[in-house]
Amino acid sequence: MKRNSRKTFVGKVVSDKMQKTITVVVDIYKKDPLYGKRVRQSKKFHVHDEEQVAKIGNLVNFMETRPLSKTKKFRLLKVLSHGKESEVRHSGETK
């Protein structure tokens, strides 16, 4: 797979507790087929962070790569902005 044809995503870091791995949430907006309303869906990705530079709350850019483990198929490109940790703790929690 060519490097430029790989998918890239922008998302918010919700966990950095693993070594060299971060969990990133990406919000995807889809249109409801019946009513036409935009509905937000979120998906979590495990992303490889070799230098361990990303922290909770950061906005990051990451791309598709070869499988690095059972669940890790993405690698970190760069940290776009630094966010507040408390915002993510409350909004990123799921039941």
- Measured distance CA(21)–CA(61) in Å, rounded: 14
How is the chain split into domains, by residue range? 3-84
- Measured distance CA(43)–CA(41) in Å, rounded: 7
Which residues, other chains included, contact 1 with Cβ-Cβ below 8 Å and sequence gap of 6+? 64
CB–CB of 29/40 below 8 Å?
yes
- Measured distance CA(88)–CA(16) in Å, rounded: 12
**What's the pLDDT score for residue 83?**
79
Strand-pair category, 8-18 with 21-31: antiparallel
Q: Which residues of the chain, if any, have pLDDT below 50?
A: 95
**What's the pLDDT score for residue 2?**
66
Query: pLDDT tens digits for 39-65?
Result: 999 999 999 999 999 999 999 999 999
User: What is 3-84's CATH number?
Assistant: 2.40.50.140
